[in-house]
Amino acid sequence: MTKKQTLDQLSPEAKSLHARLQKEWRIVDAAGSITLLTLVQSLDRLREAQRILKADGILSIDRWGQKKAHPASTIEREARAGLLACLKALSLDLESLDGADDAA
């Protein structure tokens, strides 16, 4: 899969953030480009988990009828951690994400 194909699979929010950060911070090296791509993929995964949690709620019922954290809670947490790790690796901060609502 090429970088172009991967970028085409991103949400409009992630594509916009990718383009903005790449331009503003002049990210052109291979490592920076991969890290930036991972950042916006993490943002998309975070948003997807948030949509699921909004629809289903934060709790689910296991096979014994007990309440437990919805599996999407783990996905949300891991996606947020990945996003923050990419920001750190790129030496950026949350202010760089001002165009992405409530990313972290």
Question: Based on the number of CB atoms within 10 Å of its own CB, is 100 exposed (0-12), middle (13-18) or buried (19 or more)?
Answer: buried
| Tens digit of pLDDT at every position of the chain (104 positions) | 566 768 999 999 999 999 999 999 999 999 999 999 999 999 999 999 999 999 999 999 999 999 999 999 999 999 999 999 999 999 998 787 776 655 55
Q: How far apart are CA 35 and CA 46, in angstroms?
A: 16
- Structural domain of 41: 10-96
Residue 38 falls inside a structural domain: yes
Domain total of the chain: 1
Q: How far apart are CA 31 and CA 70, in angstroms?
A: 34
CB atoms within 10 A of CB 92: 18
Residue 33 falls inside a structural domain: yes
Residue 50 falls inside a structural domain: yes
End-to-end, the C-alpha distance of the chain in Å comes to 28
